[in-house]
Amino acid sequence: MAPVPRLRFAPSPTGYLHVGGARTALFNWLYARKHGGQFLLRVEDTDRARSTDASTRAIFEGMEWLGLDWDEPPVYQGANLPRHQADARRLLDAGAAYRCFCTAAELDEQRSAAEARGEAFRYDRRCDRLTAEEVARRVERGDPYVVRFRMPEGETAWVDMVHGRIAFPNKDIGEGDFIVLRSDGTPIYNMAVVSDDIAMAITLVMRGDDHISNTPKQILLYQALGSPLPQFAHLPMIHGTDGKKLSKRHGATAVGDYRHLGILPEAMNNFLALLGWNPGGDREVMTRAEMVELFSEDGLSRKAAVFDPQKLEWMNGQHLMAMPLDALAPRVAEAVEGAGLATAADLAARPDFFRLLLELLRVRARTIDELVRQAVPYLRDALDFDADAVAKLWLKDPAQADALLGASREALAGLSSWDAAAMEPALRAAAEGMGVGAGKLFQPLRLALTGVTATPGMFDVLMLLGRDRSLARIDAARARIGAA
């Protein structure tokens, strides 16, 4: 019987959770959930100079926002130093590693000599030739040393879940006998990772393919420590639309930035899932449950994925449209309150108005922020008018504009009921009476009501604003035209 899959996401708390890390976390989470496994979180905080509590919190918040829950308490790598050191001593005791007393100056001399010969530097193992007595004498004397892994002959290979078989001749792995423990007793990255993955019983290491060069070293350490190998899966890099590795020059790269730009976590998960995975067919828009159901390693791609912000916004718009209003309302209410347009309590007191507003505006919005911007005319008394629209629709022929607005007001003020069934024939009759098409009357009216020309349907706008606000805005517009 196969062991229960155990996967981990292991970020370094030296910055925020970026989209590449979030994609890696998501794929690990999807695999674990699909196969009934466990998804674990390990904070690789051994870089004390750069690791911060603020970064750790930001990573946790990003994961929580995405809904990527972990199944055991987080592991902090820095707390595992004694085990890392003990595993390094096991390598020494097994003869798989040795102490190296070479100074930085001696190593620089070796590098310079290799460069002069036109060769890549490989440590010449001079310290591996020291006698046991000489090593003991130097240790007793307190000479500083590092612990180096003794690179065997042959090759190191594995069958990658994404790339298939990958093999490295051992002579080409790094600089030869690589360091596993520094002179201050702290582990090198590969030593700490392998020690922790063994202790956490990780069965699948899924990470970015920039780690492929680390994998042969880690496999050799697993073997030297007598531990079974996990599977490995190396995910493609994420590029910008220019084909270069994603970076800040392409715009926001931190997950938290997109949260504050009005992107829904459901859309972000959906978008990230398609960066290096194909669910089959033309399927693009998926819920998280659907992604779990469809996720398969067969759909993982070897090719670099492209992070297209416009595609993300499109995806977000799809999720905005599909989300139940009861789920969308509190998220938009929070953003409306943050923009200072209304409080959540104000909106809760007018549930029918708020639901209609959401229903009408989400059709034209791709992000929550965009939806909030479109809601401004319906939530704030003062209007900001589009200057170009004012010049074209009102000031080009002020007399006609005033006459059209006057006819609109008269038609609306005389209605016995404030609904579309009454509004439409009244306004169309007013346009006919003015000898113009309905569009000619609607556009200056739309501008008077909202300050802009791109809005939901005219009768929906009037319903949202109500009789009193609509008539007051028409009066204000006519006064503005008269004063121009």
Binning pLDDT at 50, 70 and 90, where does residue 251 land? low
Provide the percentage of residues in the chain whose pLDDT is more than 90: 86
Averaged pLDDT, 46-70: 92
Compute CA distances 335 → 260, 262, 359, 364, whole Å. Answer: 9, 8, 16, 17
Q: Which two tokens stand for residue 66?
A: 């995405």
Query: Which of 35, 42, 38, 33 minimizes the C-alpha distance to 7?
Result: 38
Averaged pLDDT, 21-27: 97
Residues known to be catalytic: 248
Radius of gyration of the chain (CA): 32
Output the pTM of the full model: 0.90
Residue 442 CB partners (closer than 8 Å, separation 6+): 427, 431, 458
Compute CA distances 105 → 4, 180, 196, 350, whole Å. Answer: 49, 20, 33, 75
Each residue's pLDDT tens digit, 312-337:
999 999 999 999 999 999 999 999 99
Own/partner pairs for 137-141, CB < 8 Å, 24+ apart? 138/99, 138/101, 139/99
Whether domain 86-155+165-181 has CATH 1.10.150.110: the reply is no
Q: Largest Cα–Cα distance in the chain?
A: 111
Residues in the chain: 484
Binning pLDDT at 50, 70 and 90, where does residue 127 land? very high
Q: Which CATH number applies to 381-484: 3.40.1190.20, 1.10.10.350, 3.40.50.2300, 2.40.30.10? A: 1.10.10.350
Question: Residue-wise over 271-301: b if at least 16 C-beta within 10 A, else e?
Answer: bbbbbbbbbeeeeebbebeebbebbebeebe
pLDDT of residue 109: 86
Each residue's pLDDT tens digit, 376-396:
999 999 999 999 999 999 999
Task: Confirm whether 86-155+165-181 and 381-484 share one CATH topology.
Answer: no
pLDDT of residue 312: 96
pLDDT of residue 438: 92
The residues spanned by each domain of the chain are: 1-73+236-322, 86-155+165-181, 323-380, 381-484
Provide the percentage of residues in the chain whose pLDDT is more than 70: 99
Q: What is the DSSP string of 237-252?
A: PEE-TTSSBP-GGGS-
pLDDT of 357 higher than 70: yes
The C-alpha atoms of residue 133 and residue 139 are separated, in whole angstroms, by: 10
pLDDT of 119 higher than 90: no
Query: Which of 441, 445, 446, 448 minimizes the C-alpha distance to 473?
Result: 448
pLDDT of residue 190: 96
pLDDT of 252 higher than 70: no
More confident residue, 10 or 46: 10
Mean pLDDT over the full length of the chain: 94
pLDDT of residue 95: 95
pLDDT of 18 higher than 70: yes
Q: Which CATH number applies to 1-73+236-322: 3.20.20.80, 3.40.50.620, 3.40.50.800, 3.40.50.1970? A: 3.40.50.620
pLDDT of residue 470: 97
Averaged pLDDT, 37-60: 92
> Which stretches of 435-457 are DSSP H helices?
438-450
